[in-house]
Structure 1
């Protein structure tokens, strides 16, 4: 399947979109993750059948979409509203389409938000290594209760400033652990060899990330609690923080509950109960000094939280499957494409009339 690039005016911004397959094909919507773009889906598109109509947008501040600001106080709603506007944009899907929506990482949170806001427009949900329904960091248990009142340790203050600077500078080297290429190899996948010939494509995708207070990573505010920082009101990492993004109850209460498939790797170091991007876990490891201990600031049980919420979703009338890929990291569609495609097509097959 070959893709074409389109630009669409939707939700007040110019959005760049990859499209593939016939306009009347079975609709599939792909939502990329943080520090990437729709180009991250290109290796997958080559493996999909021509019977699908695939639409993969660049989210705001990524790829070739407008560098529009992200209001973090809305959680991931700015992104979800942009994506929702594409459902009826001319030339993308057939009229009234109900796509299967696949979301990777941050895109999984966007996909969940889309389901909450427009449940009648989603035929099925494939969550690939998704952010927890309780946001990223700062929560202590399966119910998403806060470790501190202000969810200290979440948001833009946790970003590595050297990584952000290298993104902004377009650094293509592999010099040091904070270069984008090194992060791609070490964090996005479990085995760098799985990137193959696509490594440069994926790196260029990462380097399209708009950096700054309104985009990645956003603004930070001081906290009286360890580690001294909390989520601000602007930018991507703050939009992911539990102070602003918490939709577990809304997801469970959705009046229409399409089937959900949750695909994850058991070697994921980003979305994990032992995430190397969770300051509480890094504190436990001694990497971030002054950690107050597991009673006050335990690592976030990200995987356990997602499972608990999806179990509630099923008990309320929905269905879900959890697919765990051994030895796979944060990007199953890149690392284990055959298994990922099989799960996507199984979900599409259940909803082929969508």
Structure 2
């Protein structure tokens, strides 16, 4: 693993599996829980993506970034997709208990945001920060109200995976000679066109740490009588996000309700109402042939679905703040680190709460009183 200055890695044995975590050198393990932040990464990523944010947090904050199963240096283990993301949230529980931690602040990105929400449904947390969260109704295959388009989630889960990207991850491809190489995918899907970083090799390394062993990423696909002819299976990371396996809308009824900060970039092409990874959207564009039309196969309105659920959460008494980062992509924390960091610190009460001062990159769209 390529570690930045001041970041250290260690593998801990939990009752479920061996888990790799990143910490800052010199951080005190007795840091109060209200100043402990646990970071959870996206799929096709690892804890390495959180290093710059960890470096820049105040010294009396204790950040911990965790590699989910099958990513980074955490043990690879098959994902039972029929449980949604519960395999990951159960792993998280085992990790926090092994570290002697109770309720902490969770920051989740994409897959990590789903894991954080699932964890909050089952265990106490101090707060949730959701960056580019996957729709509470899963990835793909649903209408605005969360109802599923087909009974087998056609075009969802591993059925939507790009086989050449999977092949290149397995081969450790660091090139940019094809649009499906991890480096090219990072440039075109994770960040906006004007992003530039000396750490790009680190981010690509994180992507390449994704296990493509059976049961890991992406999982199995099965034949379908619905367009595009294949559907989500029952094992693997992407199938855990299919709508028949994942429904986090129950968070609206959570009691007590932790405060939620939702951060997303306006240039995000992955988690979007017109996602580049939604086969129905690609069919509408003609990229995939045979699309049956918007009545049968509409693009998923991912961002709108998240807003609807979080507005219901707020109406039910929860505190929700939405921060939209202008021009930022899927990995908004890389592109707008200052705004991201300040928003999180305000959210957890470190800078005082409530605090009307927001990062200049962000616009507050909704918040409870």
- Interval of TM-score (by shorter of Structure 1 and Structure 2): over 0.9
Equivalent residue in structure 2 for 1:99, among 98, 104, 107: 104
Q: Say if 2:11 is the partner of 1:7.
A: yes
- Residue number in structure 1 paired with 2:40: 31
Equivalent residue in structure 2 for 1:153, among 145, 152, 155: 155
Q: Distance in 2 between matches of 1:223 and 1:67?
A: 29
On the 8 A contact 1:270/1:330 being kept in 2, the answer is yes
Deviations 1:161-212 (A, max 9, x none): 1110000000011011000100011101113x52411100010111110003
On the 8 A contact 2:141/2:155 being kept in 1, the answer is yes
Q: Distance in 2 between matches of 1:228 and 1:195?
A: 39
On the 8 A contact 1:272/1:303 being kept in 2, the answer is yes
- Segments ≥4 residues shifted beyond 3 Å: none
Structure 2, unmatched stretches of 5+, are: 353-369
Deviations 1:43-81 (A, max 9, x none): 211211111111111100001110111110011111111
Q: Distance in 1 between matches of 2:308 and 2:233?
A: 28
Q: Say if 2:114 is the partner of 1:109.
A: yes
Q: Say if 2:59 is the partner of 1:71.
A: no
Q: Distance in 1 between matches of 2:196 and 2:239?
A: 29
CA apart distance, 1:11: 3.9
Equivalent residue in structure 1 for 2:68, among 59, 64, 68: 59
CA apart distance, 1:158: 1.1
CA apart distance, 1:215: 0.5
CA apart distance, 1:213: 2.8
CA apart distance, 1:123: 0.5
Deviations 1:281-329 (A, max 9, x none): 0000000111111111100000000000001111111110111111110
The aligned runs of 1:263-274 (5 Å cut-off) are 263-274=263-274
Q: What is the TM-score of this pair, normalised by structure 2?
A: 0.90
Number of residue pairs matched by the alignment: 344
- Residue number in structure 2 paired with 1:337: 337
Q: Distance in 2 between matches of 1:237 and 1:7?
A: 25
DSSP 3-state at the match of 1:230: strand
- Residue number in structure 2 paired with 1:240: 241
Q: Say if 2:131 is the partner of 1:128.
A: yes
CA apart distance, 1:7: 1.3
Structure 1, unmatched stretches of 5+, are: none
Q: Say if 2:52 is the partner of 1:43.
A: yes
Evaluate the alpha carbon distance shift between residue 214 and residue 24 of structure 1 in structure 2; reply closer, same or farther with a 3 A threshold: same
Q: Distance in 1 between matches of 2:114 and 2:245?
A: 12
- Residue number in structure 2 paired with 1:312: 312
DSSP 3-state at the match of 1:8: strand
- Residue number in structure 2 paired with 1:183: 185
Q: Distance in 2 between matches of 1:61 and 1:231?
A: 19
The aligned runs of 1:213-228 (5 Å cut-off) are 213-228=214-229
CA apart distance, 1:347: 1.4
For CA contacts below 8 A with separation 6 or more, give which structure has more relative contact order.
1
- Residue number in structure 2 paired with 1:204: 205
Q: Distance in 2 between matches of 1:350 and 1:15?
A: 28
Deviates more, 1:51-60 or 1:143-152: 143-152
- Residue number in structure 2 paired with 1:137: 140
On the 8 A contact 1:2/1:45 being kept in 2, the answer is no
On the 8 A contact 1:22/1:52 being kept in 2, the answer is no
